[in-house]
């Protein structure tokens, strides 16, 4: 069941012109059975495969299939505003390209640009089309903006060949929608800023100073904040991770870029979590090209990077909550206590790093230190669970 409130949540289903359009009939019917209200929008190409009447009967609502139709009683802005989730299934290469570039010349793309809810798209097309760099880059753009992609499956395609391009199963699409809408809404209306990963400080064109942070904890925190209904801004240093669904990502490389990105967003963040492992120093001078090998001892002059967390805390309004991290190799609690006070954070997450601990691992054992002096040691947990526990504590602080 997708909802627990008396008014059913509304799903906007956009159908675009693929042979798989007929499966949208099953999807709409399944969503209705799961207790959702559904409004359907069709592109002119979808109309070549399916009829508005079918969807009108199934959804019990007027179908939006003409941008300039006189009989349409509700505007696209109203339709988009009502939706708890926008699902485009099947999504053609054409829709994906238009959505990635902000083109709105049919009912579905128009609604996409007008919507302000989570967006799920289920692509369906020939395998060569799906793998084309143009399509893949457009999908990456959409994912970076928080769109959730239900990947197509391997199988026999309408063109007779087999490969990856077949619309994901109706069950998978519906369960993706249900999972997303089952998310809690404890942080609804809040903006959460999370930093993640390492920074890289250039020595020359091909070398840099960095650290072993994988970004997993920061990404898990961003995903958890989204699950709790927050609007999430993730500022990420270089990592190998997929952007978490539903999250806006800003990619940065250096500490100075991370500082700038943080300052741009911080003023509107209710909760800020600095999980990034910011490099403390950067080379004073970046050498042009490749620094050539010298057989003598070389000296690299380093200058300290700004402490982003300290700067944000000094600008913090009373209503804003800040969480910092402490990565230590020894004297965990003593060092963390100093950081809690010096960086003036509401909550500090302390963990041991190095020697196979913390950085790069899937599990972590952390101790939470609170500004009122309390300490709370968590067991060794998967980083996703650590993120849950951190948000449980954040919500407790907010409720006091
Ligand atoms: N941090 C930051 N800017 C920096 C360095 C650290 O914002 N230039 C933040 C980190 O994101 C983390 C916290 O400060 O939330 C503590 O980072 P950590 O690396 O543990 O400590 P440092 O402040 O760098 O101190 P030290 O290296 O001496 O332990």
d(CA 85, CA 117): 5
320: which DSSP letter?
Answer: -
Ligand 1 centre to CA of 380 (Å) is 22
Indicate the pairing of strand 366-370 with strand 375-377: antiparallel
Place of tokens 């001078």: 285
d(CA 391, CA 283): 36
- With the most atoms of ligand 1 within 8 angstroms of its CB, the residue from 201, 258, 307, 310 to mutate is 307
Query: Residue with the nearest Cα to atom 14 of ligand 1?
Result: 309
281, 285, 289, 291: CA torsion to nearest 10: -80
d(CA 348, CA 390): 10
Whole-number CA gyration radius for the chain = 24
What is the chain's percent helix, strand, coil content, to nearest 5? 35, 25, 40
Tens digit of each residue's pLDDT (9 = 90 or more) over 150-168: 999 988 777 777 888 999 9
Please spell the DSSP secondary structure of 65-110, one letter per residue: --TT-SS--S-HHHHHHH-SEEEEEEE-HHHHHHHHHT---SHHHH
Cβ proximity of 238 and 200 under 8 Å? yes
d(CA 394, CA 324): 12
What distance lies between CA 184 and its chain's CA centroid?
16
Q: With both helix axes pointing from N to C terminus, report the angle between 170-181 and 23-33 in degrees, rounded to the nearest 10.
A: 40
Does residue 272 have its Cβ closer than 6 Å to ligand 1?
no
Query: Residue with the nearest Cα to atom 6 of ligand 1?
Result: 278
CB atoms within 10 A of CB 185: 11
Query: Residue with the nearest Cα to atom 16 of ligand 1?
Result: 326
**pTM of the shown model:** 0.71
Please spell the DSSP secondary structure of 38-73, one letter per residue: EEEEE-TTGGGTS-HHHHHHHHSS--B--TT-SS--
The tokens for 318 are: 């009373």
Does residue 340 have its Cβ closer than 6 Å to ligand 1?
no
Q: Residue 10, SS3? A: strand
Does residue 327 have its Cβ closer than 6 Å to ligand 1?
yes
Burial of 221 (0-12, 13-18, 19+ CB in 10 A): buried
d(CA 8, CA 82): 11
Tell me which H or E stretch contains 255: helix 255-266
Active site residues: 159
Does residue 255 have its Cβ closer than 6 Å to ligand 1?
yes
Q: What is the pLDDT of residue 73?
A: 63
Does residue 307 have its Cβ closer than 6 Å to ligand 1?
yes
CB atoms within 10 A of CB 29: 17
Does residue 324 have its Cβ closer than 6 Å to ligand 1?
yes
Ligand 1 centre to CA of 344 (Å) is 13
Tens digit of each residue's pLDDT (9 = 90 or more) over 49-87: 999 999 999 999 999 988 876 565 668 888 888 898 999
How confident is the prediction along the chain (400 residues), in pLDDT tens digits per residue? 332 333 678 999 999 999 999 999 999 999 999 889 999 999 999 999 999 999 999 999 999 988 876 565 668 888 888 898 999 999 999 999 999 999 999 999 999 999 988 899 999 999 999 999 999 999 999 998 889 999 999 887 777 778 889 999 999 999 999 988 876 779 989 999 999 999 999 999 999 999 999 999 999 999 999 989 899 999 999 999 988 878 999 999 999 999 999 999 999 999 999 999 999 999 999 889 998 888 788 889 999 999 999 999 999 999 999 999 999 999 999 999 999 999 999 999 999 988 778 788 889 999 999 999 999 999 999 899 899 999 999 999 999 8
Q: What is the pLDDT of residue 280?
A: 97
Query: Residue with the nearest Cα to atom 24 of ligand 1?
Result: 280
d(CA 352, CA 298): 32
Burial of 175 (0-12, 13-18, 19+ CB in 10 A): middle
Contacts of 76 (CB under 8 A, 6+ apart): 64, 67, 107, 110, 111, 114
260, 308, 206, 238: CA torsion to nearest 10: -80
Mind listing the domains of the chain with CATH numbers? 10-183 (3.40.50.1950), 191-399 (3.40.50.10300)
């Amino acid at each position: 069941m997708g909802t627990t409130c008396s008014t059913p949540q509304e799903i906007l289903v956009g159908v675009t012109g693929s042979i798989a359009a007929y499966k949208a009939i099953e999807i709409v019917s399944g969503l209705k059975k799961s207790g959702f209200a559904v409004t359907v929008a069709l592109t002119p190409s979808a109309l070549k495969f399916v009829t508005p009447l079918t969807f009108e009967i199934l959804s019990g609502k007027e179908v939006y299939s003409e941008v300039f139709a006189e009989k349409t009683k509700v505007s696209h802005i109203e339709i988009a505003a009502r939706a708890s989730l926008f699902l485009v299934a099947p999504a053609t290469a054409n829709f994906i390209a238009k959505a990635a570039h902000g083109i709105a010349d049919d009912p579905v793309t128009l609604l996409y640009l007008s919507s302000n809810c989570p967006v799920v798209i289920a692509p369906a097309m020939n395998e060569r089309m799906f793998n084309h760099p143009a399509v893949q880059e457009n999908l990456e753009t959409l994912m970076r903006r928080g769109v959730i992609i239900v990947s197509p499956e391997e199988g026999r395609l309408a063109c007779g060949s087999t490969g990856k391009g077949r619309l994901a199963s109706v069950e998978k699409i519906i369960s993706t929608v249900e999972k997303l809408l089952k998310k809690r809404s404890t942080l609804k209306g809040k903006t959460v800023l999370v930093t993640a990963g390492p920074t890289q400080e250039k020595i020359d064109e091909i070398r840099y100073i960095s650290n072993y942070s994988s970004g997993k904890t920061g990404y898990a925190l961003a995903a958890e904040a989204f699950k709790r209904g927050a609007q999430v801004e993730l500022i990420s240093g270089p990592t190998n991770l997929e952007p978490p669904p539903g999250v806006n990502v800003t990619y940065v490389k250096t500490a100075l870029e991370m500082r700038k990105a943080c300052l741009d967003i911080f003023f509107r963040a209710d909760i800020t979590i600095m999980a990034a492992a910011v490099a403390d120093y950067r080379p004073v001078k970046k050498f042009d090209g490749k620094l050539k090998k010298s057989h003598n001892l070389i000296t690299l002059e380093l200058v300290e990077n700004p402490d982003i967390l300290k700067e944000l805390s000094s600008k913090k309004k009373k209503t804003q909550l800040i969480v910092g991290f402490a990565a230590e190799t020894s004297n965990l609690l003593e060092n963390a206590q100093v950081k809690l006070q010096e960086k003036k954070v509401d909550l500090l997450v302390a963990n041991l790093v190095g020697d196979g601990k913390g950085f790069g691992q899937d599990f972590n054992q952390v101790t939470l230190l609170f500004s009122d002096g309390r300490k709370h040691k968590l067991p060794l947990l998967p980083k996703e669970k650590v993120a849950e526990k951190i948000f449980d504590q954040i919500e407790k602080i907010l409720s006091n």
